[in-house]
Structure 1
Amino acid sequence: MKKDKEKVIDEVWTEDHVRSFLNVRSYDGSNEDFHMLLKAYQSMRASDFELFVGMFREQGRDINASGSDGRNVLTIVSEHRHGGDYADILRQAGAE
């Protein structure tokens, strides 16, 4: 069977598309700030993620929010081989 949707690579993200991630809500009762940051990290290139983190902080959201396992997004990103740029963005925004 053929896939219904092809994977989009190097998609151009508008500011509105990045901003739309501020409306992402947790479906499992986890901390919404954590969920939002994690979904943005998983979906965006570093430059788009940096823009998102600025918007996230402007709304007064918690850059150190943690998931149900007690880890925050910086901890998760730091464990990933290609997460260095994202970790730097989070640290610059005050993540610990």
Structure 2
Amino acid sequence: MAERKDKKKIIGEPMTDEQIKVFLDFPAEEGVNPDFHVLEKAYRALRVEDFERFIAFFQAQGRDINSRDPENRTLLTVISQHPRCEDYADVLRKAGGTA
């Protein structure tokens, strides 16, 4: 599919605080820790700079950086298995994340 020349790509443009804070409110499915759920959603959708800002908002709400998925893994454990994730892993470590 050809890209339309009149469409401006928005990938990579800076996000506002309000756009980043939207990730704090994604409801989790039954059986999934709500803190883990929003951490994972933010990791998958945000650029590392925006993810770092998200983590500050997340922790300001008193949420758990070491929350676990249904398989008892922290997000740091999960993303440590992903290639090219070191920048995200560093953000989590600086915030107190453990694997």
| Same fold per superposition (TM over 0.5) | yes
Q: 1:50 aligns with which of 31, 49, 52?
A: 52
Return the TM-score normalized by structure 1: 0.87
- The structure having more radius of gyration, on CA atoms, is 2
Deviates most, 45-54 or 8-17: 8-17
Q: Residue by residue, what CA displacement relative to the aligned partner does 1:53-96 show, whole Å, maximum 9, x if unpaired?
A: 00101111000000001111001111111110000000000011
Q: What SS does the corresponding residue of 2:43 show, helix, strand or coil?
A: helix
Q: 1:71 aligns with which of 51, 73, 79?
A: 73
Q: What SS does the corresponding residue of 1:75 show, helix, strand or coil?
A: helix
Amino acid at match of 2:11: I
Amino acid at match of 1:62: D
Count of aligned positions = 91
Return the TM-score normalized by structure 2: 0.85
Unaligned stretches of 5+ residues in structure 2: 1-8
d(CA) in 1 for partners of 2:12, 2:49:
12
Which residue matches 1:3? Answer: none
Unaligned stretches of 5+ residues in structure 1: 1-6
d(CA) in 1 for partners of 2:42, 2:18:
13
Which residue matches 1:4? Answer: none
Q: What SS does the corresponding residue of 1:41 show, helix, strand or coil?
A: helix
Tell me the percent identity.
Answer: 44
Is 1:31 aligned to 2:55, yes or no? no
Computed over aligned residues only, the root mean square deviation of the Cα atoms, in angstroms, reads 1.6
